[in-house]
Amino acid sequence: MALLTLEQARAILTLGSDTQYDDELTVYITALTEVVEGLVGPIDPREVVEQADAYGPTLVLLQTPALSLTSLAPVLSGGSTVDVASLYLNGTSGAVGRLDGANWTGGPWTVTYQAGRSTVPASMTVAARLLLQHWWRTRYGAARGNPGGGEDFDVNEPVPGFGYAIPNRVLQLLEPYRRPPVVA
C-alpha cells in the first residue's frame, strides 16, 4: 500500500484533475513509500517469512513493527514447531520470548509473522506529503525558474546519510517511529 493515492498527490501538488503527470507521480509515490518504510519499517500489514537465530531468552525479528506471530519452526528437520500461543511478542522492538522464560534452543528458526501498522500515524502522512512536494519542486534543479533559491523546500545542508533527497523536517516527523538499529 502506498502512503498516498494518485488523487491525493494531485491535490497536494495542486494539479487538479490533470492526469498529464500520473505516470511520473506514480513513480514518486512508490519511491517515497519505499523511503519512508526504509526508515520506519513496513506501513501496510504484510506477511514476512525470515530465518532468525535466537540467543538466550530472545529471538529478534528484523521487520518492525510486528503485529502478530503466525508460525515458528526450526530450519533443520527433526525439530518441532513452537506453539505461538506460548510466546511473547514485543511488536515495537521485534523481540520474541517464551512465556515460560526458557532460553531458545534448536535454531535457527523460520519465523512467519505479520509486520506493519494497523493505522498510519498522521505525522507519517504529513512527512510523505512534504517529501512529495520537495521532490516535485526540486526535480528540475535550478531550471525550475528560481535559480536564487529561497523556497520553503530548499535543502541547503545535506542530511547525513541522505544527501539532499530528504529534508530535515521529514526526518523529524518520522523520528518517533524510526526503526532501531540492527546489530549483527
The pLDDT tens digits for 99-123 are 999 988 877 899 999 999 999 999 9
pLDDT at 153 over 60: no
Residue 1's nearest CA partner among 49, 37, 54, 53 is 37
Percent above pLDDT 90 for the chain: 61
15-38 pLDDT, tens per residue?
A: 988 899 999 999 999 999 999 999
- Which residue has 519505499 as its cell numbers? 34
Among 23-27, 65-69, 71-75, the minimum mean pLDDT is found in: 71-75
Distance CA 133, CA 11 (A): 11
Position with higher pLDDT, 161 vs 74: 74
Q: Are the CB atoms for 12 and 21 separated by under 8 Å?
A: no
pLDDT at 166 over 90: no
The pLDDT value recorded for residue 150 is 46
Q: How confident is the model at residue 1 (pLDDT cuts 50, 70, 90)?
A: low
77-98 pLDDT, tens per residue?
A: 767 788 999 999 999 989 999 9
HSE, side-chain direction, 13 A CA sphere, residue 68: 7
Enumerate residues 6+ apart whose C-beta is below 8 A from 136: 13, 28
The pLDDT value recorded for residue 76 is 82
Residue 155's nearest CA partner among 133, 176, 126, 174 is 133
Long-range contacts (CB closer than 8 Å, 24 or more residues apart) made by 97-106: 97/57, 97/58, 97/59, 98/57, 101/57, 102/57, 103/54, 103/56, 103/57, 104/54, 104/55, 104/56, 104/57, 104/58, 104/59, 106/74, 106/76, 106/79
